[in-house]
Structure 1
């Protein structure tokens, strides 16, 4: 008698009774949250605009170093509370491989904020931000000598065009350029240097470490400078100060969240919406004049800056 298991019918029945193969599990699709990040960045720009309004109100009645010092005190408390909730807590945040550079970053940013408050008082919101919008071009120009990065002829052309826009804003042919116009440009230069140093320390320190050192070193530096101008604020001005600090904390938190959801190169163009908001608020609240040369010059600077960011993103890719 032959073995029935050798016949095809048995083989067929065995195949039918065998369990079906388990298909491989596919990972869940990755959600693109760029739209949410863009919405958060637009909200950050709006909050920054109101933050500048409160800074101008307070800067008109008190020394800017005093305003920035109190703001940094609250900011330092916020940084400590936020960092303490992260893995490793404060012990991890304190450990940095580049302490001197981290301290320099925090001091530079604190001084930049002080210059901006002074510029708001002397120039107004609109012209201050129109000149300050040149900072991405300064980042591109300084990335070579500071970080050793290569800057091609296209980006250098955009930098030259952007500085032409600054000349249109300042309108030197219409009279003597005031020294106050140098305040936002110096602030933009300092902010560009701060950004480059941030990229430099990011090679060794995580973002939360840099965030911690930014708040603490800035608070210490402003205390050493501003404590000599201490005076009690009027009761109503404490309300403005509370609004300023609330804007500072909420804007930084939302900005951190937005950068967690999308790349900085995708979000940076939407940060320029702050220029639109401050122009509206400057005209509405402070009766500032939106001069045609400021609009044209700011458009040239923003366009050149966006092109520079696009070239940097394309080169990195």
Structure 2
């Protein structure tokens, strides 16, 4: 039964990755007509829906009296502020560089998560994990290529987004254990929605949606992103995160194929072998985490 739940969780995660990439494709498609900030605002409006759905489905939340007030609301709000700028950076990068390159660089978030866990959580990181971080960082540098003729400052945007996403994940572990995860996500997404609205107004306001097709694309963007968050939440509740983490890198080849099919992008020289180093780094970190957990259970 446990194996069946793990397989189902893996299937849900793979579907979520596909939906996230579909959302990214729509963002890239809409980027010539809409600002990154307003797309982020639209995304978070729809992002509130899955957070509310998952919260309502939480038995623990109902058992605790459906409490919506969080003691660490400032921490939850800070995560929302960081999410605002992380989304803005990633969405902006999708309109400036190839889809696969932007997506691949964001997968370096595991590297940043290890680095942030030391000062924020007080974790002790051994030589093996630091070596994995350095391997992944070398892969990122290979893709970004600072100082090279092909370097573009826009490639730093998804790198900043990856750092922000990692910081959000690490900060989530500071939240009290009795606070439901969807409630924290609801706070953070709500703040990010407001942040996106403010950024959009500060950078030129909202662009009128004059085409019905654009309206449907915006709705689909929010639906895909919101559904992906819901599926991921379901997957992580069905099995241990270490069982799912290796499949996270399925998004790198998928992003390459989708960028090739829909935008005729073939960034071979940009991505390889840097993407392989990022994948190798993540797999080493995952292997190390699973080894530690197995030793603790023995």
Does the aligned pair in 2 maintain the 1:133–1:298 contact within 8 Å? no
Q: Which residue of 1 aligns with 2:55?
A: 83
Greater mean deviation of Cα atoms: 290-299 or 129-138: 290-299
Q: Which residue of 2 aligns with 1:105?
A: 79
Structure-2-length-normalised TM-score: 0.90
Indicate the structure (1 or 2) with the bigger Cα radius of gyration: 1
Does the aligned pair in 2 maintain the 1:169–1:294 contact within 8 Å? yes
Q: Which residue of 2 aligns with 1:178?
A: 152
The offset of 1:31, in angstroms, is 5.9
Q: Which residue of 1 aligns with 2:12?
A: 40
Q: Which residue of 1 aligns with 2:37?
A: 65
1:278 aligns with 2:255: yes
Distance in 2 between residues matched to 1:146 and 1:250, nearest whole Å:
30
Distance in 2 between residues matched to 1:315 and 1:30, nearest whole Å:
21
The Cα RMSD (Å) is: 2.1
The offset of 1:227, in angstroms, is 3.8
- Secondary structure (helix, strand or coil) at the match of 2:166 reads helix
Distance in 1 between residues matched to 2:246 and 2:224, nearest whole Å:
21
Does the aligned pair in 2 maintain the 1:93–1:212 contact within 8 Å? no
- Secondary structure (helix, strand or coil) at the match of 1:281 reads helix
Does the aligned pair in 2 maintain the 1:37–1:257 contact within 8 Å? yes
Seen in structure 2, the aligned counterparts of structure 1 residues 285 and 86 have a Cα distance that, compared at 3 Å, is same
1:217 aligns with 2:191: yes
Q: Which residue of 2 aligns with 1:161?
A: 135
Does the aligned pair in 1 maintain the 2:51–2:230 contact within 8 Å? no
Distance in 2 between residues matched to 1:193 and 1:187, nearest whole Å:
10
1:245 aligns with 2:222: yes
Does the aligned pair in 2 maintain the 1:65–1:114 contact within 8 Å? yes
Task: Provide structure 2 residue ranges, at least 5 long, that are not aligned to the other structure.
Answer: none
Q: Which residue of 2 aligns with 1:5?
A: none
Seen in structure 2, the aligned counterparts of structure 1 residues 120 and 39 have a Cα distance that, compared at 3 Å, is same
Seen in structure 2, the aligned counterparts of structure 1 residues 126 and 32 have a Cα distance that, compared at 3 Å, is same
Distance in 1 between residues matched to 2:270 and 2:41, nearest whole Å:
35
Does the aligned pair in 1 maintain the 2:144–2:151 contact within 8 Å? yes
Aligned pair count reads 289
Does the aligned pair in 1 maintain the 2:47–2:225 contact within 8 Å? yes
Does the aligned pair in 2 maintain the 1:162–1:305 contact within 8 Å? yes
The offset of 1:172, in angstroms, is 4.2
Distance in 1 between residues matched to 2:277 and 2:73, nearest whole Å:
38
Distance in 2 between residues matched to 1:121 and 1:179, nearest whole Å:
13
Does the aligned pair in 2 maintain the 1:37–1:259 contact within 8 Å? yes
Seen in structure 2, the aligned counterparts of structure 1 residues 277 and 306 have a Cα distance that, compared at 3 Å, is same
Task: Provide structure 1 residue ranges, at least 5 long, that are not aligned to the other structure.
Answer: 1-28
Seen in structure 2, the aligned counterparts of structure 1 residues 284 and 201 have a Cα distance that, compared at 3 Å, is same
